Chain A
């Protein structure tokens, strides 16, 4: 039997409010923090932001005053939880340092979710975007080195996550129709699949929002350009992931799933957090979320006549979500799928696209006039005599993506060259 928040007792809502000094927590020491503690803090901030925005969206779509009141009460506490988590991040690191942390979250979270995903199609969905975020980490790491911040990306990620090219960012830009996937159904999907999807949407959405807002902070034109290019890809990723959610479930069912998801993730953080002070925060928030879940389940029963137990597992939660190294898995995904692209909801080798496919039209439109994600590597190579890479497990799994590899042999470069000839 796993942990079952439906049978646990949480902190009553009226005792959940905290004062300003309780919320203004001391930040962690950026020189001492475990990379995965930083990841959990960034990640759980994203989960709370999603909880808040989902609650706001629900409130805008219901006329029921009672529901609005419950949403407002719980949302105020979710806001406090978000502050207590996000204020753990110290002010000293630059947005670029935080960005490296965001991309490490994206890589190791997505890899873990993909490994746990029981549905073969949905696993492809995770693997597809995993190696794109992996590439973003490499591009930002090169930018960080160029910006002379006196720190290497590896100082932030440790040796836990490699920094190498993934599917190159220049090829992430696709026609919006080709970012829409097949949705699962709440009725037939495994609970793990539902939890995975809610989790990844929150995480990618946070990354999109972060780049949308901090991308214009650097003064260097190349840094600004790289942020805006990758911010566009993060929007693609949010579209990609949100399209696997069941679009037919009711608002209250959706709310219950969000609260259940928060319980799962705080419980997961509690299992794996080595920092005592931060572990206590996860524990406190879990006790709060159990009560939020109880309130949501009560509304679902009272208003929609649905028992949450009818779609949540009687045996308790899935395995705890764990930040851990995924280097071997990421390498395997790269070797198998770096040449894939998307055509509607299907994933296909880029070589299979006809040369007049809309992918190539979109590429021509946005990549005309230079591509920041390529320029950042070219400038690092010109300034420092080579690219910034951090490899712990041997050469790149795709020879053409090695630093001195035959780049023209890579499937995407071949396909775009063929399309250029056709045009």
Chain B
């Protein structure tokens, strides 16, 4: 019973934090803020997907998690390549750790009871991908660096497909 209450409270906190993240993402048009946010999003996705590969009961969720690792590794590599280019001078290096908000989400995922893990993961995935879609869309249209706008425009359709798939799976579980 205590575990269920904690899961519910964690989900509510994630939802609240996710809404804040989405609003902040929609206003990100500066290169440094965009790079940091995009990189942290990838870090969160890859870490959460590794947990899902180990703990998810649904084979479809595990398949989705494997794709998340692959696609968000690709997006990190593209971001690293973009930062090596002359088109993106003097930006801060990519972060090695997620920020406090995404670290809290990962902690909540880790704390989820086994029977609630799949839904917790998928609920977080909806929030995280809504934030990433918002980030990529706003930067692609109004960002201040051409190379990073190109990166955002290339990444946006991939994360939009992720979001659609996550919502579809969540509807089934």
Contacts and interface: CB of A to CB of B under 8 A. Distances in A.
Interface of A: 118-122, 124, 177, 181-185, 187-190, 246, 248, 343-346
Nearest to A187: B146
Interface in B65-116: 73-74, 77-78, 80-82, 84-87
B36 interface: no
Interface of B: 73-74, 77-78, 80-82, 84-87, 145-147, 149-151, 153-154
Nearest to B85: A121
Given A185-B150, A188-B147, A344-B73, A118 B81 contact: no
Given A188-B147, A345-B74, 16 more contacts: A119-B87, A120-B85, A120-B86, A121-B85, A182-B78, A182-B151, A184-B87, A187-B146, A188-B146, A190-B86, A248-B150, A248-B153, A344-B74, A344-B77, A344-B78, A346-B77
B73 to A, nearest CB: 7
21 contacts: A119-B86, A120-B84, A120-B85, A121-B81, A122-B85, A182-B151, A184-B85, A184-B87, A184-B147, A185-B87, A185-B150, A188-B146, A189-B87, A246-B150, A343-B77, A344-B74, A345-B74, A345-B80, A345-B81, A346-B77, A346-B81
A196 B82 CA distance: 18
A119 B150 contact: no
A121 to B, nearest CB: 4
Contacts of A344: 73-74, 77-78
A345 B155 CA distance: 13
B45 to A, nearest CB: 15
B114 to A, nearest CB: 27
A184 B150 CA distance: 8
B85 A182 contact: yes
A85 to B, nearest CB: 34
B89 to A, nearest CB: 10
A179 B87 CA distance: 21
A4 B48 CA distance: 55
A182 B84 CA distance: 10
